[in-house]
Structure 1
Amino acid sequence: MNRREAMLAGAALLAGCGDRAATAAPAEWVGASHERGHRLRTLRSGALPAPARQRRCDVLIVGGGIAGLASARALARAGIHDIALLELEDQAGGNSRGHTLAGQRCPLGAHYLPMPDEAGTEVSEFLHQLGLLSSQLGRTVAEERYLCHSPQERLFFEGAWHEGLLPPAAPGSATQIQYRAFAAATARVQRELGFAMPSLRAPWTAGHGALDAQTFAHWLNGHGLDDARLRWYLDYACRDDYGAGLDQVSAWAGLHYFASRHGFHAPGDDAGERDAVFTWPEGNAWLAERLAAPLRDRMQGGRVVLRVDLQRDGVQALAWSAATGETEAWSARAVVMATPLFIAARLLSSVPPALSELVPRMPQAPWLVANLRLREALLDRGIGAPAAWDNVAYGAPSLGYVDAGHQRLSPLPGPTVLTAYWALPQAQRQPLLDGEAAAWAARVVADIAALHPDLPHKLERISLMRYGHAMSIPVPGLRSSPALAALAQMAGRLQFAHSDLSAYSVFEEAFTHGDRAGRGAAAWLRR
């Protein structure tokens, strides 16, 4: 039985009892209802309500994701403490928020952070502050207890588990030849053009622009890279970081995934160790919570910002409180717009031309994140590599699952939470927002049960988080847009801070843009 037959057999096995098993375990949506965000459109469609309260601060930050939190940190480090951060959700962190399911911490989004290199100065400084990095005898050393434990990754391919996520290739096979060809091409663009994380630390040349002008699939076709296993892996990498496949993202984005880190290595050609990443049971919420902790009452959760007006002598904003049902008027000397750019365009009463130009060109990827509480460890179907932190099936619709209990020190398996990730096509945004939790949970269960048929019988509870607009997709032409650079370089009482300014969403980009915007706002106040 090949891999496809096995997965179909697993799905057929679940057809009679899978839905019943999935719904037998309670399934629920978590996080603020998407209707809270849509309230912005409802309230703005008519006359805005008169504010019930008047509030003031020096700097108003709109959006409490990583960029907004990094802005607040930068302002505090500059001596600006009279700030207020307005966040739609009850909890700060954006795509890096966490959850607790039956007493077990687990992520609701981003779940790891690679070790920063010399380009990531802001992130590196923050990690040193937290004690995750330290300088010892002139070397940067990571706190090992927070690095991902081994085994780190495995792939289910043709009936067996294999270490790593790259599909296996026999020595001398056509697949291995193409692996090596792509590795050489990645090393060449890395050497000749330059890439960095965050991307603003790399140069931007005509060569980068040429890559950004075409899809990754088109670039691969032009280089004769058509091997099915290579293309699956590259498509997986793009969906994992960008929420869309290689036929949608630009060639710059596809190559940046590898060239901004440690390249691409064909099996047998890489003598080095696997890239080190930090991770926690709750994912990057561990970092977000430490960024948010110093804010205390300056973090205003459950706020739907309705409008932001720039005036000659300051900023006026109107927000609706989910807790009180009242509107609040905020006055500030400066504002940091740390929301996705398409939200910023809806909130600002006077929209900069660069923002108006960009928003129609920035498609957003919907995501589903499902946390499954298990009463005991799962059994593997098939042979090969042992259970890992990240577990992926070749050809599956999902991006696989991570084990929130992988970092525990106990050698004995026990109850845990699996976090499954789905990057969905844009056409599934509305079905995701309108769908029943039980129906989406059944899809998640069927996907994992194809690998672990005992899953339905060990499943206790499911929590699902839906993101209608999880991240910007780096489509061709977006990263090279002068309008994108113009927004990131704005000076004055209005600062933009979001990973959208890099055309894609990862922690390093969001943190760096937030830090830059916070310092820019502080400079404006001190002019």
Structure 2
Amino acid sequence: MHRRQFLSTALLPLAGCQPQADVSHISGGFTGIGHARGHLLQQTPTWPTPSRTRQTDVLIAGGGVAGLAAARGLRLKGIEDFALLELEDSAGGNSRAGLLGGMACPQGAHYLPLPGDDAWEVQDLLEELGLRRRVAGRWIYDERHLCHSPQERLYFNGEWQDGLLPLQGVAADTLAQYHQFAQRVEQLRHTERWSMPAAKSPVTPVKQALAALTFEAWLNQQQLTDPHLRWYLNYCCRDDYGAGLAQVSAWAGIHYFASRHGFAAPGMENAEREGLLTWPEGNAWLTRRLAAPLQQRLHTGQVVLRVTNLKHGVEVDVFNTATQTVERWQARRAIVALPMFVAARVLQNPPDWLRQAAARMVYAPWLVANIQLQQALHDRPGAPPSWDNVLYGAAGLGYVDAMHQSLQSVPGATVLTYYRALGDLAGAGAALGQAGRRLLLEQPWATWRNAILAELSAVHPDLPAKTRQIDLTRYGHAMAVPVPSIDGKIGLQRFQNKRKQLQKSEYFQITHERLNFAHSDWAGYSVFEEAFTLGHWAA
């Protein structure tokens, strides 16, 4: 596809998106992360000789959730001589936050489902942070951090409804397909073991078959064709994986429900909504507490250039953005908590299995917009304002209200955090995400502002007049997309020959000589439980 044709195709979702009201008073810009640092690896052919050499026992490259979990894991083992290198000015990966009008708001991940018993590493963290404690033999979560009611709503057929599954005025055939899908999920939950993290459940022929085709193809096989069901399942895939049911694997589509709360069709006994933890700043509440004990061991603004296995240790060259110099770190061992495609680029003489894994991985770009409101919006009929608010059929994934957890008695100024996944904008296979990345890089802030306001003004006409500032955060490679695999293998299970057995058979690491790898990429998709557990295992 020629560049002009490529861009004209990619721009279609933004064409004609002009808000009706005057928006000249709205300020803002791009914030959160600086893509220029990451692109230094591509744009700089050679680097100067390191100006200094530093030593540590264990070096962690990457300060996302996996890297922070690895740092905590080292501390739990009594290893204090380590350093963590982070590209951005703060650790946290996709779980960072900012301030807008004095109000905290997420710049990425914004909630954590209550972890099941398979995720005992995450449960242990929550207990350490005081979010979970045992009372009279039962585990109780601190209600101040649980998502307050009402939790979520959908704008559908001209009014707001409770919950995100389309229900208002749908036909009997639609309800019947909801129940058919729910029954199929329950069947798979009873015949297969599903877990979060996924590595704690075995790969079976059924799962391999699901991993080899798209979720859309599986739905076609099941004759589940209802447009409202398809919209909801597509929304769920875009929300968790960054791409739709035509791109993600059937294993991922089923895993979304089977590993957590099932699928609750209207009238079913399991229709109780899943509990979750959330904060005004989103999951940055967690990553900031993981980063706080590191103090001088956390080194930000560091671009990892080269990782080399030596005879008696590991050598890592980095570009220090503060001093504008190249520095060399020497360590006994290293944990590479970088996205897989970056790890394959910076590791000297990477093994074939790493190169092949990186070549197969595709990534979803994301846009996160924080919209500062000077006062509460007028509301449409139906369900009341909720924490999560979704518009049926819209290009975006809706918005969350940063002040929902504040328990303010009178609605007032707030920040709405709007999310848009761009993984399925155009392209398939290896091209998945390329159009979205190009769009993120080339479209000016004002174009995104206009598109977002036009989309949300359909249900909130007073939004432009009450908006004061819009800050945009762009993620070119926000998350790995669990696309169908040729061999039907799932996530970490693709690399069984690289397992290193630990105390229990279900624990393993991806290793290469003195390197351990830890990142949500290795699970095949990006959620907190996967990244945290893999970082913990690596330590």
1:446 counterpart residue number: 454
Q: Structure 2: any 5+ residue segments left out of the alignment?
A: 1-13, 426-432, 499-508
Do 2:339 and 2:519's aligned partners in 1 also have CA atoms closer than 8 Å? yes
Give yes or no for the alignment of 1:401 onto 2:407. Answer: no
Do 2:203 and 2:490's aligned partners in 1 also have CA atoms closer than 8 Å? no
- How far 1:172 moved relative to its partner? 7.3
- How far 1:485 moved relative to its partner? 4.2
Do 2:492 and 2:524's aligned partners in 1 also have CA atoms closer than 8 Å? no
Residue type of the alignment partner of 1:516:
W
Do 2:19 and 2:454's aligned partners in 1 also have CA atoms closer than 8 Å? no
Residue type of the alignment partner of 1:512:
T
Give yes or no for the alignment of 1:504 onto 2:530. Answer: no
Name the SS for the 1:71 alignment partner: helix
Change (3 A) 1:183 1:344: same
Q: 2:19 & 2:206 partners in 1: Cα distance?
A: 55
Residue type of the alignment partner of 1:475:
V
Q: 1:16 & 1:56 partners in 2: Cα distance?
A: 55
Change (3 A) 1:13 1:82: closer
Of 257-266 and 202-211, deviating more is 202-211
2:3 counterpart residue number: none
Residue type of the alignment partner of 1:435:
Q
- Deviation sequence 1:379-435 (CA, Å, 0-9, x none): 12x310000000001100000000000000221111000000000122121121222
2:96 counterpart residue number: 97
Residue type of the alignment partner of 1:507:
F
Q: 2:107 & 2:87 partners in 1: Cα distance?
A: 16
Do 1:169 and 1:267's aligned partners in 2 also have CA atoms closer than 8 Å? no
Residue type of the alignment partner of 2:207:
H
Give yes or no for the alignment of 1:423 onto 2:406. Answer: no
2:511 counterpart residue number: 490
- Deviation sequence 1:148-190 (CA, Å, 0-9, x none): 0000000000101000000006687000100000000001111
Do 2:339 and 2:521's aligned partners in 1 also have CA atoms closer than 8 Å? yes
1:212 counterpart residue number: 211
Name the SS for the 1:383 alignment partner: coil
Q: 2:494 & 2:124 partners in 1: Cα distance?
A: 29
How many residues get paired?
503
Question: Scaled by the length of structure 1, what TM-score is found?
Answer: 0.93
Residue type of the alignment partner of 2:480:
S
> How well do the aligned residues superpose, as a CA RMSD in angstroms?
1.7
Do 1:373 and 1:416's aligned partners in 2 also have CA atoms closer than 8 Å? yes
Do 2:402 and 2:415's aligned partners in 1 also have CA atoms closer than 8 Å? yes
Matches within 5 A, 1:221-300: 221-270=220-269, 272-300=271-299
Name the SS for the 2:67 alignment partner: helix
Name the SS for the 2:237 alignment partner: helix
- How far 1:211 moved relative to its partner? 0.6
Name the SS for the 1:312 alignment partner: coil
Name the SS for the 1:58 alignment partner: strand
Q: Structure 1: any 5+ residue segments left out of the alignment?
A: 1-10, 519-527
Do 1:186 and 1:258's aligned partners in 2 also have CA atoms closer than 8 Å? yes
Residue type of the alignment partner of 2:71:
A
1:109 counterpart residue number: 108
Q: 2:492 & 2:532 partners in 1: Cα distance?
A: 21
1:479 counterpart residue number: 490
Change (3 A) 1:191 1:170: farther
Q: Percent identity?
A: 51
Q: 1:437 & 1:15 partners in 2: Cα distance?
A: 13
Question: Scaled by the length of structure 2, what TM-score is found?
Answer: 0.91
Q: 1:399 & 1:256 partners in 2: Cα distance?
A: 20
Residue type of the alignment partner of 2:386:
A
- How far 1:15 moved relative to its partner? 3.8
Do 2:249 and 2:484's aligned partners in 1 also have CA atoms closer than 8 Å? yes
Whichever structure has more helix as a proportion of its residues is 1
- Deviation sequence 1:417-471 (CA, Å, 0-9, x none): 0000000122121121222112112211111111100000000111110000100
Name the SS for the 1:397 alignment partner: coil
Residue type of the alignment partner of 2:267:
G
- How far 1:482 moved relative to its partner? 5.0
- Deviation sequence 1:83-132 (CA, Å, 0-9, x none): 11111110100000111112100001000001111111100000000110
Give yes or no for the alignment of 1:178 onto 2:186. Answer: no
2:364 counterpart residue number: 365
Give yes or no for the alignment of 1:464 onto 2:462. Answer: no
Q: 1:484 & 1:458 partners in 2: Cα distance?
A: 52
- How far 1:12 moved relative to its partner? 12
Change (3 A) 1:16 1:127: closer
2:141 counterpart residue number: 142
Name the SS for the 2:385 alignment partner: coil
Q: 1:481 & 1:248 partners in 2: Cα distance?
A: 19
Matches within 5 A, 1:295-444: 295-380=294-379, 382-424=380-422, 425=425, 426=433, 427-444=435-452
Q: 1:257 & 1:439 partners in 2: Cα distance?
A: 33
Name the SS for the 1:99 alignment partner: strand
Q: 2:360 & 2:490 partners in 1: Cα distance?
A: 11
- How far 1:33 moved relative to its partner? 1.9
Name the SS for the 2:144 alignment partner: helix
Q: 1:208 & 1:357 partners in 2: Cα distance?
A: 22
- How far 1:80 moved relative to its partner? 0.8
- How far 1:239 moved relative to its partner? 0.3
Q: 1:98 & 1:416 partners in 2: Cα distance?
A: 15
Q: 1:249 & 1:205 partners in 2: Cα distance?
A: 19
Change (3 A) 1:373 1:292: same
